[in-house]
């Protein structure tokens, strides 16, 4: 009936969940049935002088039955323990709504709602089931905090709580019945395409939960390997990225578009920093979706203020796009989210899924800091699309 594998260090711990236990149960049940039938046959065919012997046999049989019952009970208990170990190791666990600290809104959201007219003829479903990340169960206190609000009232200014949940694997988040905090941006946003390289004003952003409270504070900060001064759109290198090369490893946007043969219209930028790749592509009539999180800075609002498309999404989440829809996917060092080789492989294959046949995958200066990361690049050879990736080099 299957097994559960877990990589631990360099070895593999394998738990046979049902195969061994099921075999033992079947053998014991067969033995018990055969023994019972033999005893019954012997009892009905014996003479009265053997009654004493029958009594001894009955006593022995009772002892055997008790031992079999105890063994079956232990096997059942072992199966339950193994099932719990599997849940603990894999993290798959349904959310326990019976906890005292569970918010009522969370219970209502997760409640199964039956369709009023019964089974839907087109989809075949009979009830609506809400979607929420399975790892939310491991952050129940934080989730209840997120789902505690006044219905039809303003939501708390708790975007940072939502992001903490996302980073803990609680994705997608449950929906809420409150109005998100809004900031009036009327008259403060620049028209497109001026907005691509015109710095947004400070009061168009929600700065709560962030160390910096202005874009001036962010200009000189190193927020990641790909975001060093990436909020400086005027004096820094940001407005020259992808247009002028800084090393022999750099591809330029126009060269990449030439490889596409005029068929590049929509793209996906995985972990695209402040959105400058999307801005450069927008100047060339290519629409780019940029995945981002607000780690240390208001990336999402900054990208949106530039007239671009931010997608608030962690790299552990399956891309919410249909198969074979993007002409171009770009990824840089943000592709390396940590963890083992298999985790990165899942991400690469999901990129392959959303990239159309004949599309381009641009692996931009991916830092191969160890042999394991280099081996991941072998996976790219399995991708059937044309690949456009820069030389992989070791970080100094």
pLDDT along the chain (396 residues), means of 10: 33 37 58 62 53 58 76 81 61 65 85 81 82 83 92 93 91 91 89 94 90 90 84 88 83 88 91 93 96 93 96 91 95 68 83 90 75 63 55 40
Domains of the chain with CATH codes: 97-182 (no CATH), 215-385 (3.40.50.150)
pTM of the model: 0.71
Diameter over CA atoms, the chain: 111
Q: How far is CA 254 from the centre of its chain?
A: 33
Token pair listed for 90: 């894999």
The Cα 338–Cα 127 span in angstroms is: 38
The Cα 101–Cα 194 span in angstroms is: 49
pLDDT at residue 233, as a whole number: 92
pLDDT at residue 229, as a whole number: 87
Contacts 24+ apart (CB under 8 A), 132-135: 132/95, 132/170, 132/172, 132/173, 132/174, 133/169, 133/170, 133/171, 133/172, 133/173, 134/91, 134/92, 134/93, 134/94, 134/169, 135/91, 135/168, 135/169, 135/170, 135/171
């Amino acid at each position: 009936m299957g097994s559960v594998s877990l990589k631990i260090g360099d070895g593999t711990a394998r738990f046979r969940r049902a195969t061994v236990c099921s075999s033992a149960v079947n053998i014991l049940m067969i033995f018990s049935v055969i023994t019972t039938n033999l005893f019954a046959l012997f009892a009905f065919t014996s003479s009265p002088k053997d009654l004493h012997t029958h009594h001894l046999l009955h006593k022995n049989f009772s002892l055997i039955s008790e031992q079999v019952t105890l063994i079956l009970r232990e096997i059942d208990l072992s199966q339950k323990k193994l099932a719990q170990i599997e849940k603990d190791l894999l993290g798959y666990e349904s959310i326990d709504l019976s906890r005292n600290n569970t918010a009522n809104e969370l219970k209502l959201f997760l409640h199964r709602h039956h369709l009023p007219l019964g089974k839907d003829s087109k989809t075949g479903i009979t009830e609506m089931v809400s979607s929420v990340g399975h790892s939310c169960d491991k952050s129940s206190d934080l989730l209840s905090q997120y789902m505690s609000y006044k219905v039809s009232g303003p939501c708390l200014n708790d975007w940072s709580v939502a992001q903490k949940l996302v980073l803990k694997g609680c994705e997608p988040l449950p929906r809420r019945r409150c109005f998100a905090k809004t900031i009036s941006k009327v008259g403060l946003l620049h028209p497109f395409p001026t907005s691509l390289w015109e710095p947004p004003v400070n009061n168009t952003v929600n700065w709560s939960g962030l160390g910096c409270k202005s874009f001036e504070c962010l200009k000189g900060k190193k927020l990641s390997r790909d975001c060093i001064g990436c909020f400086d759109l005027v004096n820094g290198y940001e407005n020259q990225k992808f247009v002028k090369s800084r090393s022999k490893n750099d591809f330029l946007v126009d060269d990449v578009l030439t490889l596409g043969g005029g068929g590049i219209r929509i793209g996906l930028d995985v972990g695209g920093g402040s959105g400058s790749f999307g801005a450069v592509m927008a100047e060339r009539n290519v629409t780019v979706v940029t995945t981002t999180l607000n780690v240390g800075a208001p990336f999402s609002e900054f990208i949106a203020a530039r007239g671009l498309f931010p997608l608030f999404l962690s790299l552990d989440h399956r891309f919410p796009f249909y198969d074979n829809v993007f002409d171009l996917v770009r990824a840089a060092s943000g592709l390396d989210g940590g963890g083992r080789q298999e985790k990165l492989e899942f991400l690469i294959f999901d990129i392959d899924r959303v990239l159309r046949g004949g599309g381009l995958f641009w692996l931009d200066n991916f830092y191969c800091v160890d042999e394991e990361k280099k081996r991941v690049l072998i996976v790219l050879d399995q991708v059937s699309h044309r690949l456009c990736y820069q030389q992989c080099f070791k970080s100094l």
